[in-house]
């Protein structure tokens, strides 16, 4: 499955701040996709004035959009390798899927209402390690939204993930 980086906000990383090479190698969500994912996350996690835990894993533009759309929502965090997002201070935690068990204790203790993840590589090792982290962050009630390529579908199904009819869109690279 599936970021909001606002080019107008100098406090957050912007696509224009990325080096040309990095831009070519990344698959940043379109605004519409970021909004869609943010709304899904909010509709799952926000219930009757309570804030369920939302974790964005390696989906920074969706996280940035969520913060933009729901600035008062406190219980939302970004786990991401790219340390430029440490601009988000206590909302950001460096995450490396090769260290899949190294997660903030308060996140693994609280369990997420929803997790949105977009692993960097389309291979078994990467998705399996991401899902090991997801397992530590979730319980039976957690809704997991994986954004990935069709080639990962068979493996994703082994984690009880089902394909939806939503196809994320990405910004065009140069
Ligand atoms: C395919 S991109 C997904 C970006 C997403 N579409 C978005 O717009 O936010 C993969 C993400 O994985 C991150 N990443 C790269 N290496 C990683 C690692 N070792 N562990 C976890 N995440 C990593 C990248 O920084 C990038 O944000």
Q: How far away, in angstroms, is 118 Cα from ligand 1 center?
A: 6
State the alpha helices, DSSP H only, in the chain. 20-25, 31-45, 60-69, 105-110, 124-137, 153-158
Q: pLDDT band for 115, please (50, 70, 90 cuts).
A: very high
- Ordered by start, the domain boundaries in the chain are 18-158
Ligand 1: atom nearest CA of 98 is: 19
Q: How far away, in angstroms, is 58 Cα from ligand 1 center?
A: 4
Look at the domain 18-158 and name its fold. Answer: Rossmann fold (3.40.50)
CA distances from 53 to 23, 127, 172 (A): 30, 22, 31
To test the ligand 1 pocket, which listed residue (25, 41, 58) has its Cβ within 8 A of the most ligand atoms?
58
Q: Copy the structure tokens of residue 138.
A: 């979730």
Strands, sheet with 92-94, edge to edge from the N-terminal-most edge strand: 92-94, 76-80, 54-57, 114-117, 143-146
Residues 6+ apart with CB under 8 A from 113: 44, 45, 52, 53, 54, 141, 142, 143
Asked if pLDDT for residue 14 goes beyond 80, the answer is no
- Check residue 44 and give its pLDDT: 97
Which residue's CA is the closest to the ligand 1 atom numbered 20? 96
Which residue's CA is the closest to the ligand 1 atom numbered 26? 58
- Check residue 142 and give its pLDDT: 98
Place of tokens 């990935």: 148
Which protein residues are within 6 Å of ligand 1, measured from CB?
3, 26-29, 58-62, 80-82, 95-98, 118, 120
- Between residues 104 and 4, the one the model is more confident about: 104
Q: Looking at residue 149, what DSSP letter applies?
A: -
- Check residue 145 and give its pLDDT: 98
- Check residue 172 and give its pLDDT: 74
Q: Copy the structure tokens of residue 142.
A: 């957690």
Q: How far away, in angstroms, is 101 Cα from ligand 1 center?
A: 17
Dump pLDDT digits (tens) for 54-80. 999 999 999 999 999 999 999 999 999
Q: Copy the structure tokens of residue 112.
A: 């997420």
């Amino acid at each position: 499955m599936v970021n909001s980086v606002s080019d107008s906000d100098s406090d957050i990383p912007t696509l224009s701040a990325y080096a040309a090479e990095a831009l070519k190698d990344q698959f940043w969500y379109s605004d519409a996709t970021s909004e869609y994912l943010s709304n899904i996350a909010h509709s799952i996690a926000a219930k009757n004035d309570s804030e369920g835990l939302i974790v964005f894993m390696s989906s920074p533009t969706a996280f940035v959009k969520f913060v933009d759309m729901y600035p008062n929502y406190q219980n939302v965090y970004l786990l991401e390798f790219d340390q430029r997002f440490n601009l988000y201070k206590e909302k950001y935690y460096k995450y490396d899927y090769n260290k899949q068990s190294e997660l903030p204790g308060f996140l693994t203790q609280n369990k997420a209402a929803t997790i949105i993840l977009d692993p960097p590589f389309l291979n078994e090792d990467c998705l399996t390690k991401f899902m090991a982290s997801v397992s530590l962050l979730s319980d039976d009630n957690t809704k997991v939204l994986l954004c990935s390529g069709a080639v990962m579908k068979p493996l994703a199904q082994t984690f009880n993930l089902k394909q939806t009819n939503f196809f994320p869109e990405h910004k065009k690279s140069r």
